Structure 1
Amino acid sequence: MIERVVIKGSYLWEGYSSEIIPNGALVMEGEKIQIVAPFAEIPHSAYDTVLDFTGCTIMPGMIDSHTHHSMDPSLENYLERMKDTIPELTIRATIMMKKDLLSGVTTCRTLGDKDYLDIACREAVKNNLIPGPRSIVAGKGMRAATGHGFVGYPFKGKEEIIEAIKKNLGAGADFTKIYITGTLRRNGDLPSFLSYEEIAAAIQTSHEAGVKVASHCVGGIGLDWALELGLDTLEHAYHISDHQIENLGKSKTQPVLTPSPILNDKIVNHYPKHLIQGHYDEREEISSRIRSLIEAKIPFALGTDGMHGELFKEAEYSVELGASNLQALQALTINGAAVCNMENKTGSLIPGKDADIIAVEGNPVENIQSLRKVKLVIKEGRVMSDTSSSHKQERGLMFS
């Protein structure tokens, strides 16, 4: 018999509305959520066990919509360390994935790793070989032969890109990742390293196979082409213009914002030395551009770009740049689920969805820094982490 567990807190936020349920609770049975309501309205006959997180908010598990499993920005010159051997990258990835999970990330979207490492990680988690979030993965990212992309592989011409996409999908990739632009301006310019024809071929080939296309793209003519051609997710958008924001709002393209690689000194100071000053020089301009995109009320998702275990920082940065707490929370949950094509499975606490649940101390709708204090992580109905040893002893549960 599957145990029915009720999880209650001082508050419950279901993932959609600005309303928070005081003394809210949910019932999970196996992998699924069955009931969401004030605790007083749930009959005793509906559950067998109570997990009491008084003082906490029960909310959906968070989604890191842009990361790389084997990336570790705490390392000196960490982008160049993506050239380490596959065994080294694999060990690093397993450590990073556990770190993500314990921070409340139950789903992550990986924008490329070396040699299909991300696909192997996805399957290892799925088969309970290692702890980590569920993943949707891009496989090998595609960049121009002379273009930007520390994690990407170089390809030249649309035929090579088409063949690479087919190989990626054959290996088990869930979507396509391309690199259209760099990150910083080059003498004031933002060139597109991929041609119009190459971008068109990547999008058409992927869409014909039924998968989305994501692109590292910060602005310039490449962003104009991407919106025209139907890019699915726009990653970073650091130098997006007002006109491009207007066109983005009219399109079906979903923006994924990653503030930390620009605003977090811990990351910037570990870039290759020739890139550090440029990131500081463009910080103010990029902050202004992100603020303008947020002010346009275009729904966005958030990603760490490899700053594992610190997705909460992206929410805090987005609030500093003009987002409401609710917008930031939705970016980490239901908007992330939409980017991952998983909104019918996760991203909100709705009966019938997977039991991806976290408890955070306090109320994040009022104080976004509550996301720093994760007290419980449940992924697909399995308790992955409870930071209080007293909870474990009192409840006698088996923790994964």
Structure 2
Amino acid sequence: MQALTYLTADSMFDSINGVFVKNPWILIKGDRIEKVAFGTAAIPAGIPVIDMSGCTLLPGLIDAHNHLSLSPQLNNHPYLMFDPDPVLVMRAITNLTTDLMSGVTSSRCLGEKNFIDFYIKAAINQGSIAGPRLVVAGRGIKASHAHGFVGTPYDGVEAVRMAVRENLRRGADLTKLFVTGNTKSTGFLPYYISPAEISIAVQETHQAGKKVAVHCIGGDGLTHCLEQGVDVIEHAYFATDEQIEQLVALNRWVVLTPRIFFNDARWSTVSQQSVAEFQYNREEVVERHQKLIRSGVKFAVGTDASHGEFAEDIILLTKLGNTIESALQAATISAARVSEIDADTGSISAGKYADFVAVSGDLANDIEQLRSICFVMKGGQVCRHTAKGV
């Protein structure tokens, strides 16, 4: 017989409807939510109660753009991706623990070396290691002369076709391509994977019933991605007005990662030149993100591997023009939808996994309270429970 537990709090974020609701009580049965109700609960004697009075309850957070072994907290972190696979695995395990303790109960991983994300996903599912439940892409596909430290080079249509097929054969949930670079230093934005290579990746992936996501910041590369049927644009830092209109008209997803341009601590571990490159583009990135947010495009949010800092990415969305509710949806139900796991997570709903985060105080009126996570549950198991917020 599966164990029963009640969970209560002062308020709860309903991610489906984008509203906060007072006095929730939730019945958890095993690893799933059995019932959600509001008001005064008649809780039967003998059933344990986790009382989060003074707190706001959220669905478990979903990082919609992550890399498990990329470790920005370490010096020269992009080049550390060339370290041996066992070293990358150890870093990934450390990063996953950090992510889970920060409230990330699911994570969409967009490219790792040599399929280590598949092995780590299996280990988490088996209970061998702790971490968020994972959506994985396997090897990220890049051109040999292009951006993508976490990617693997493949050149030519047939090489890309075989790379996609190998990822799918090993169990990839989606395909990831690296089409453009990461920043803009001139008015020209180069792209490195040809339309024909993009097309074959889309064809092979769609034949398997799965989606294609592309690292693409803008320029002609973004236009080609839309023309060739790519499902999700990652970043879109410099999407033009016309491209944003196309994204909306085509009903495509965008995963936003704007904090990359505002996190000097991350790039100072590489060089001051790297910091300057991201600072140079800030004004345009703000303006483009505000345009994206106002456009009505479907979007989720991710950290791009700033492990343990997801709260900052969500808070930044509100500073770019999102409401608190919309920013939280981007990190919960919208992230679940773009990850194609919304049948199991992304909202506090009966039948879904018992994935929860609680923060001290009234989050509806102060998004800064998201830094005060005091409770994390994944699949009915308490991962973190502190009397006071961090």
If the TM-score is normalised by the length of the shorter chain, which range does it land in? over 0.9
Computed over aligned residues only, the root mean square deviation of the Cα atoms, in angstroms, reads 1.5
**Aligned partners of 2:19, 2:235: CA distance in 1, in Å?**
30
Deviations 1:329-372 (A, max 9, x none): 00000000001101111000111111111111122222112221
**Aligned partners of 2:363, 2:157: CA distance in 1, in Å?**
46
Aligned to 2:25: 25
Q: Is residue 337–residue 347 contact of structure 1 (8 Å, CA) maintained in 2?
A: yes
> What is the CA-CA distance between 1:17 and the residue it aligns to?
2.2
Q: Is residue 8–residue 25 contact of structure 1 (8 Å, CA) maintained in 2?
A: yes
Q: Is residue 257–residue 301 contact of structure 2 (8 Å, CA) maintained in 1?
A: yes
**Aligned partners of 2:354, 2:14: CA distance in 1, in Å?**
12
Aligned to 1:92: 91
Aligned to 1:8: 8
Q: Is residue 27–residue 47 contact of structure 1 (8 Å, CA) maintained in 2?
A: no
Deviations 1:168-199 (A, max 9, x none): 11122211000111112253211221111111
Aligned to 1:54: 53
**Aligned partners of 1:168, 1:272: CA distance in 2, in Å?**
34
Aligned to 1:261: 260
* Percent of pairs with identical residues: 38
Against the structure 1 CA distance between its residues 47 and 363, is the aligned structure 2 distance closer, same or farther, given a 3 Å change threshold?
farther
Q: Is residue 79–residue 272 contact of structure 1 (8 Å, CA) maintained in 2?
A: no
Q: Is residue 300–residue 335 contact of structure 1 (8 Å, CA) maintained in 2?
A: yes
Aligned to 1:398: none
**Aligned partners of 2:296, 2:249: CA distance in 1, in Å?**
12
Q: Is residue 6–residue 47 contact of structure 1 (8 Å, CA) maintained in 2?
A: no
Aligned to 2:329: 330
State the AA in 2 paired with 1:290: H
Q: Secondary structure at the match of 1:376?
A: strand
Q: Is residue 146–residue 193 contact of structure 1 (8 Å, CA) maintained in 2?
A: yes
Deviations 1:13-42 (A, max 9, x none): 1212243221211111111111111141x3
**Aligned partners of 1:47, 1:11: CA distance in 2, in Å?**
24
Aligned to 2:214: 215
Aligned to 1:226: 225
**Aligned partners of 1:270, 1:259: CA distance in 2, in Å?**
19
Q: Secondary structure at the match of 1:291?
A: helix
Q: Is residue 70–residue 150 contact of structure 2 (8 Å, CA) maintained in 1?
A: no
State the AA in 1 paired with 2:358: A
Q: Is residue 230–residue 253 contact of structure 1 (8 Å, CA) maintained in 2?
A: no
What is the TM-score when the length of structure 2 is the normalising length? 0.96
**Aligned partners of 2:296, 2:372: CA distance in 1, in Å?**
28
**Aligned partners of 1:147, 1:274: CA distance in 2, in Å?**
19
> What is the CA-CA distance between 1:303 and the residue it aligns to?
0.6
**Aligned partners of 2:45, 2:271: CA distance in 1, in Å?**
56
Against the structure 1 CA distance between its residues 46 and 13, is the aligned structure 2 distance closer, same or farther, given a 3 Å change threshold?
farther
Aligned to 1:318: 317
Deviations 1:278-314 (A, max 9, x none): 2111121112111211121323111111100111111
**Aligned partners of 2:222, 2:269: CA distance in 1, in Å?**
27
Q: Secondary structure at the match of 1:9?
A: strand
Aligned to 1:270: 269
**Aligned partners of 2:296, 2:324: CA distance in 1, in Å?**
13
Q: Secondary structure at the match of 1:58?
A: strand
State the AA in 1 paired with 2:206: H
**Aligned partners of 1:345, 1:57: CA distance in 2, in Å?**
21
> What is the CA-CA distance between 1:270 and the residue it aligns to?
2.5
Count of residues paired in the alignment: 388
Aligned to 1:397: none
Aligned to 2:141: 142
Please identify, of 17-26 and 120-129, the stretch whose mean Cα deviation from structure 2 is larger: 17-26
Q: Does 1:159 align with 2:126?
A: no
> What is the CA-CA distance between 1:2 and the residue it aligns to?
2.1
**Aligned partners of 1:13, 1:332: CA distance in 2, in Å?**
12
Aligned to 1:363: 362
Please identify, of 314-323 and 265-274, the stretch whose mean Cα deviation from structure 2 is larger: 265-274
Q: Does 1:71 align with 2:73?
A: no
**Aligned partners of 1:222, 1:46: CA distance in 2, in Å?**
61
Aligned to 2:339: 340
**Aligned partners of 2:288, 2:19: CA distance in 1, in Å?**
30
**Aligned partners of 2:39, 2:46: CA distance in 1, in Å?**
11
Stretches (4+) displaced over 3 A: 271-276
Aligned to 2:109: 110
> What is the CA-CA distance between 1:274 and the residue it aligns to?
4.8
Query: What runs of 5+ residues in structure 1 fail to find an aligned partner?
Result: 390-400
**Aligned partners of 1:228, 1:213: CA distance in 2, in Å?**
13
Q: Secondary structure at the match of 2:19?
A: coil
Please identify, of 47-56 and 213-222, the stretch whose mean Cα deviation from structure 2 is larger: 47-56
State the AA in 2 paired with 1:239: F
**Aligned partners of 2:52, 2:196: CA distance in 1, in Å?**
54
**Aligned partners of 1:372, 1:185: CA distance in 2, in Å?**
31
**Aligned partners of 2:205, 2:235: CA distance in 1, in Å?**
21
